[in-house]
Structure 1
Amino acid sequence: MVIARTRNPTRRVHPLSHTDTDPCTHIDKLHSDKAILVSVQLFKSNPTSSVDCGKQCNLSIYLSIYLSIYLSESVHIYLQRTVFFLNPIYLSIYLSIYLSIYLSYSINIYLSIYLSIYLSIYLTIYLTLLISIYLSIYLSIYLSIYLSIYLSILLC
Protein backbone atom coordinates (compact mmCIF):
# COMPACT_ATOMS: atom_id res chain seq x y z
CA MET A 1 0.00 0.00 0.00
CA VAL A 2 1.56 3.28 -1.12
CA ILE A 3 0.44 6.50 0.50
CA ALA A 4 1.02 9.50 -1.73
CA ARG A 5 2.05 12.66 -0.02
CA THR A 6 0.28 15.78 -1.09
CA ARG A 7 1.79 19.20 -0.96
CA ASN A 8 0.72 21.25 1.98
CA PRO A 9 -0.25 24.74 0.78
CA THR A 10 0.45 26.24 4.22
CA ARG A 11 3.98 24.92 4.31
CA ARG A 12 6.70 27.55 4.48
CA VAL A 13 9.55 27.82 2.04
CA HIS A 14 12.87 26.79 3.53
CA PRO A 15 14.87 29.96 4.36
CA LEU A 16 18.02 28.79 2.59
CA SER A 17 16.30 27.67 -0.60
CA HIS A 18 15.15 29.77 -3.52
CA THR A 19 12.36 27.47 -4.58
CA ASP A 20 9.63 25.63 -2.78
CA THR A 21 11.60 22.47 -2.11
CA ASP A 22 11.50 19.88 0.56
CA PRO A 23 13.81 20.92 3.46
CA CYS A 24 15.17 17.40 3.64
CA THR A 25 16.42 17.56 0.06
CA HIS A 26 17.91 20.96 0.80
CA ILE A 27 19.94 19.39 3.60
CA ASP A 28 21.17 16.92 0.99
CA LYS A 29 22.51 19.86 -0.99
CA LEU A 30 24.03 21.64 2.02
CA HIS A 31 25.87 18.76 3.63
CA SER A 32 28.00 16.14 1.97
CA ASP A 33 28.26 14.05 5.10
CA LYS A 34 27.44 10.46 4.28
CA ALA A 35 25.56 9.93 7.51
CA ILE A 36 23.14 12.74 6.68
CA LEU A 37 22.67 11.52 3.13
CA VAL A 38 22.02 7.96 4.22
CA SER A 39 19.58 8.95 6.94
CA VAL A 40 17.66 11.32 4.64
CA GLN A 41 17.49 8.70 1.91
CA LEU A 42 16.26 6.10 4.39
CA PHE A 43 13.46 8.34 5.53
CA LYS A 44 12.52 9.28 1.97
CA SER A 45 12.42 5.67 0.83
CA ASN A 46 9.86 4.78 3.51
CA PRO A 47 6.56 6.17 2.16
CA THR A 48 4.53 4.69 4.99
CA SER A 49 6.39 6.72 7.58
CA SER A 50 4.09 8.87 9.63
CA VAL A 51 6.96 11.14 10.69
CA ASP A 52 6.82 14.49 8.95
CA CYS A 53 9.77 16.05 7.16
CA GLY A 54 10.85 18.35 9.99
CA LYS A 55 11.28 15.44 12.36
CA GLN A 56 13.05 13.49 9.63
CA CYS A 57 15.54 16.31 9.10
CA ASN A 58 16.12 16.71 12.84
CA LEU A 59 16.54 12.98 13.23
CA SER A 60 19.00 12.85 10.33
CA ILE A 61 21.04 15.69 11.84
CA TYR A 62 21.08 13.97 15.23
CA LEU A 63 22.02 10.71 13.56
CA SER A 64 24.89 12.36 11.69
CA ILE A 65 26.16 14.01 14.89
CA TYR A 66 25.91 10.70 16.76
CA LEU A 67 27.71 8.84 13.98
CA SER A 68 30.48 11.41 13.75
CA ILE A 69 31.04 11.33 17.53
CA TYR A 70 30.87 7.52 17.61
CA LEU A 71 33.26 7.15 14.68
CA SER A 72 35.73 9.68 16.05
CA GLU A 73 35.74 7.94 19.45
CA SER A 74 36.10 4.48 17.93
CA VAL A 75 38.93 5.64 15.67
CA HIS A 76 40.57 7.32 18.66
CA ILE A 77 40.35 4.14 20.76
CA TYR A 78 41.58 1.99 17.87
CA LEU A 79 44.53 4.26 17.16
CA GLN A 80 45.36 4.53 20.83
CA ARG A 81 45.47 0.76 21.20
CA THR A 82 47.39 0.36 17.96
CA VAL A 83 49.98 2.96 18.92
CA PHE A 84 50.48 1.64 22.44
CA PHE A 85 50.52 -2.07 21.63
CA LEU A 86 51.63 -2.54 18.05
CA ASN A 87 54.06 0.33 17.72
CA PRO A 88 56.59 -0.97 20.30
CA ILE A 89 56.45 -4.44 18.78
CA TYR A 90 56.92 -3.04 15.29
CA LEU A 91 59.72 -0.74 16.40
CA SER A 92 61.57 -3.47 18.26
CA ILE A 93 61.41 -5.84 15.30
CA TYR A 94 62.25 -3.14 12.78
CA LEU A 95 65.09 -1.71 14.82
CA SER A 96 66.61 -5.08 15.56
CA ILE A 97 66.63 -6.02 11.88
CA TYR A 98 67.65 -2.57 10.68
CA LEU A 99 70.37 -2.14 13.26
CA SER A 100 71.84 -5.55 12.61
CA ILE A 101 72.03 -4.88 8.87
CA TYR A 102 73.17 -1.28 9.26
CA LEU A 103 75.77 -2.04 11.89
CA SER A 104 77.18 -4.96 9.96
CA TYR A 105 77.74 -2.74 6.93
CA SER A 106 78.81 0.29 8.90
CA ILE A 107 81.20 -1.66 11.08
CA ASN A 108 82.80 -3.26 8.08
CA ILE A 109 83.14 -0.05 6.14
CA TYR A 110 83.45 2.69 8.71
CA LEU A 111 85.54 0.75 11.17
CA SER A 112 88.10 -0.09 8.55
CA ILE A 113 88.28 3.55 7.43
CA TYR A 114 88.38 4.77 11.01
CA LEU A 115 91.00 2.28 12.04
CA SER A 116 93.19 3.00 9.07
CA ILE A 117 93.08 6.75 9.69
CA TYR A 118 93.27 6.46 13.45
CA LEU A 119 96.03 3.92 13.46
CA SER A 120 98.10 5.75 10.91
CA ILE A 121 97.93 8.96 12.93
CA TYR A 122 98.15 7.28 16.30
CA LEU A 123 100.97 4.98 15.33
CA THR A 124 103.05 7.75 13.88
CA ILE A 125 102.70 9.85 17.00
CA TYR A 126 102.94 6.96 19.41
CA LEU A 127 105.85 5.30 17.72
CA THR A 128 107.86 8.47 17.38
CA LEU A 129 107.39 9.21 21.06
CA LEU A 130 107.99 5.65 22.05
CA ILE A 131 111.07 5.30 19.93
CA SER A 132 112.51 8.56 21.13
CA ILE A 133 111.88 7.71 24.79
CA TYR A 134 113.11 4.15 24.56
CA LEU A 135 116.02 5.11 22.41
CA SER A 136 117.10 7.79 24.82
CA ILE A 137 116.79 5.40 27.78
CA TYR A 138 118.54 2.63 25.93
CA LEU A 139 121.30 4.89 24.73
CA SER A 140 121.84 6.40 28.13
CA ILE A 141 122.06 2.98 29.78
CA TYR A 142 124.16 1.52 27.00
CA LEU A 143 126.48 4.47 26.86
CA SER A 144 126.94 4.56 30.60
CA ILE A 145 127.76 0.85 30.74
CA TYR A 146 129.93 0.98 27.67
CA LEU A 147 131.78 4.07 28.80
CA SER A 148 132.35 2.65 32.27
CA ILE A 149 133.76 -0.56 30.83
CA TYR A 150 135.83 1.26 28.27
CA LEU A 151 137.21 3.73 30.77
CA SER A 152 138.00 1.01 33.28
CA ILE A 153 139.95 -0.87 30.63
CA LEU A 154 141.81 2.23 29.57
CA LEU A 155 142.73 3.23 33.05
CA CYS A 156 143.93 -0.14 34.19
Structure 2
Amino acid sequence: MKEYKEAFQHWDKDNSGFLEHKEFRAFLLSLGKFNISQVPEESGDAEWDRIMARLDPNSDGKVSFDEFIAFMVEESADAESADQLLEAFRVLSNGQPYVLAADLQRELSPELYEYCIANMSTYDDGPEGALDYSSFANALYGESDL
Protein backbone atom coordinates (compact mmCIF):
# COMPACT_ATOMS: atom_id res chain seq x y z
CA MET A 1 0.00 0.00 0.00
CA LYS A 2 2.93 2.29 0.73
CA GLU A 3 4.13 1.78 -2.85
CA TYR A 4 0.69 2.72 -4.19
CA LYS A 5 0.65 5.91 -2.11
CA GLU A 6 4.16 6.83 -3.28
CA ALA A 7 3.27 6.13 -6.91
CA PHE A 8 0.11 8.20 -6.65
CA GLN A 9 1.98 11.11 -5.10
CA HIS A 10 4.76 10.87 -7.68
CA TRP A 11 2.35 11.09 -10.62
CA ASP A 12 0.17 13.76 -9.00
CA LYS A 13 2.38 16.47 -10.46
CA ASP A 14 0.19 19.39 -9.38
CA ASN A 15 -0.35 17.97 -5.85
CA SER A 16 -4.12 18.24 -6.29
CA GLY A 17 -4.85 14.96 -4.54
CA PHE A 18 -6.15 13.62 -7.86
CA LEU A 19 -4.53 12.29 -10.98
CA GLU A 20 -5.73 14.14 -14.03
CA HIS A 21 -6.23 11.82 -16.99
CA LYS A 22 -2.92 12.93 -18.54
CA GLU A 23 -1.11 12.12 -15.27
CA PHE A 24 -2.80 8.74 -15.03
CA ARG A 25 -2.00 7.96 -18.68
CA ALA A 26 1.68 8.74 -17.97
CA PHE A 27 1.55 6.39 -14.99
CA LEU A 28 0.04 3.57 -17.08
CA LEU A 29 2.61 4.08 -19.82
CA SER A 30 5.40 3.84 -17.23
CA LEU A 31 4.12 0.40 -16.20
CA GLY A 32 4.43 -0.87 -19.76
CA LYS A 33 1.58 -3.34 -19.20
CA PHE A 34 -1.15 -1.57 -21.10
CA ASN A 35 -1.65 -1.17 -24.82
CA ILE A 36 -2.51 2.53 -24.78
CA SER A 37 -1.25 5.29 -27.01
CA GLN A 38 1.03 7.96 -25.62
CA VAL A 39 -1.26 10.69 -26.89
CA PRO A 40 -5.03 10.29 -26.87
CA GLU A 41 -6.30 9.78 -30.38
CA GLU A 42 -9.34 11.68 -31.59
CA SER A 43 -11.00 8.45 -32.68
CA GLY A 44 -10.46 6.92 -29.24
CA ASP A 45 -8.14 4.42 -27.68
CA ALA A 46 -10.03 1.19 -26.88
CA GLU A 47 -7.79 0.08 -24.00
CA TRP A 48 -7.79 3.57 -22.46
CA ASP A 49 -11.57 3.80 -22.85
CA ARG A 50 -11.97 0.39 -21.17
CA ILE A 51 -9.79 1.42 -18.24
CA MET A 52 -11.46 4.80 -17.81
CA ALA A 53 -14.95 3.31 -17.95
CA ARG A 54 -13.97 1.22 -14.91
CA LEU A 55 -11.83 3.80 -13.18
CA ASP A 56 -13.70 7.06 -13.74
CA PRO A 57 -17.36 6.08 -14.11
CA ASN A 58 -18.51 9.60 -13.22
CA SER A 59 -16.31 11.00 -16.03
CA ASP A 60 -15.06 13.88 -13.92
CA GLY A 61 -11.64 13.68 -15.58
CA LYS A 62 -9.89 12.89 -12.30
CA VAL A 63 -8.72 9.75 -10.58
CA SER A 64 -9.05 9.90 -6.80
CA PHE A 65 -6.72 7.95 -4.54
CA ASP A 66 -9.58 5.55 -3.74
CA GLU A 67 -10.19 4.96 -7.46
CA PHE A 68 -6.45 4.50 -7.96
CA ILE A 69 -6.28 1.94 -5.13
CA ALA A 70 -9.27 0.05 -6.51
CA PHE A 71 -7.62 -0.09 -9.92
CA MET A 72 -4.25 -1.18 -8.53
CA VAL A 73 -5.80 -3.84 -6.30
CA GLU A 74 -7.72 -5.23 -9.23
CA GLU A 75 -4.76 -5.09 -11.61
CA SER A 76 -2.09 -6.41 -9.29
CA ALA A 77 -3.98 -8.72 -6.95
CA ASP A 78 -2.49 -12.13 -6.51
CA ALA A 79 -5.96 -13.47 -7.21
CA GLU A 80 -6.44 -13.94 -10.91
CA SER A 81 -10.16 -14.58 -10.74
CA ALA A 82 -13.19 -13.99 -8.57
CA ASP A 83 -12.95 -17.64 -7.48
CA GLN A 84 -9.41 -17.18 -6.19
CA LEU A 85 -10.35 -14.00 -4.35
CA LEU A 86 -13.38 -15.76 -2.88
CA GLU A 87 -11.13 -18.56 -1.65
CA ALA A 88 -8.83 -16.02 0.04
CA PHE A 89 -11.84 -14.48 1.82
CA ARG A 90 -13.09 -17.96 2.83
CA VAL A 91 -9.74 -18.65 4.49
CA LEU A 92 -9.76 -15.25 6.21
CA SER A 93 -13.33 -15.82 7.43
CA ASN A 94 -12.72 -19.41 8.62
CA GLY A 95 -15.20 -20.73 6.06
CA GLN A 96 -18.03 -18.34 6.93
CA PRO A 97 -20.08 -16.85 4.04
CA TYR A 98 -19.15 -13.39 5.35
CA VAL A 99 -16.04 -11.67 6.61
CA LEU A 100 -15.94 -9.54 9.74
CA ALA A 101 -14.71 -5.98 9.56
CA ALA A 102 -12.43 -6.74 12.51
CA ASP A 103 -10.76 -9.56 10.55
CA LEU A 104 -10.16 -7.25 7.59
CA GLN A 105 -8.75 -4.57 9.87
CA ARG A 106 -6.37 -7.07 11.47
CA GLU A 107 -5.14 -8.53 8.15
CA LEU A 108 -5.12 -5.58 5.69
CA SER A 109 -3.28 -2.30 5.46
CA PRO A 110 -5.33 0.68 6.68
CA GLU A 111 -5.93 1.93 3.13
CA LEU A 112 -7.03 -1.44 1.78
CA TYR A 113 -9.18 -2.00 4.86
CA GLU A 114 -10.90 1.35 4.29
CA TYR A 115 -11.43 0.50 0.62
CA CYS A 116 -13.01 -2.86 1.47
CA ILE A 117 -15.24 -1.39 4.18
CA ALA A 118 -16.40 1.36 1.83
CA ASN A 119 -17.16 -1.07 -1.01
CA MET A 120 -18.46 -4.21 0.68
CA SER A 121 -22.13 -4.47 1.44
CA THR A 122 -23.41 -5.75 4.77
CA TYR A 123 -24.04 -9.48 5.04
CA ASP A 124 -27.65 -9.49 6.24
CA ASP A 125 -27.73 -12.82 8.07
CA GLY A 126 -24.43 -12.37 9.88
CA PRO A 127 -23.35 -10.82 13.15
CA GLU A 128 -22.62 -7.12 13.52
CA GLY A 129 -19.74 -6.07 11.27
CA ALA A 130 -20.34 -8.95 8.83
CA LEU A 131 -19.59 -8.06 5.20
CA ASP A 132 -20.58 -9.80 1.98
CA TYR A 133 -17.29 -10.76 0.35
CA SER A 134 -18.96 -12.74 -2.45
CA SER A 135 -20.67 -9.76 -4.08
CA PHE A 136 -17.50 -7.71 -3.57
CA ALA A 137 -15.27 -10.28 -5.32
CA ASN A 138 -17.73 -10.73 -8.16
CA ALA A 139 -18.07 -6.97 -8.65
CA LEU A 140 -14.28 -6.54 -8.81
CA TYR A 141 -14.15 -9.02 -11.64
CA GLY A 142 -17.22 -7.68 -13.46
CA GLU A 143 -19.39 -10.69 -12.76
CA SER A 144 -22.04 -8.80 -10.75
CA ASP A 145 -22.80 -5.44 -9.24
CA LEU A 146 -22.20 -4.51 -5.61
TM-score band w.r.t. shorter chain = under 0.3
Flag the structure with higher helix content.
1
Normalising by structure 1, what TM-score?
Answer: 0.24
Normalising by structure 2, what TM-score?
Answer: 0.25
Flag the structure with higher strand content.
2
Task: From the CA coordinates, give the structure whose radius of gyration is larger.
Answer: 1
Relative contact order: is structure 1 or structure 2 higher (C-alpha 8 Å, sep ≥ 6)?
2
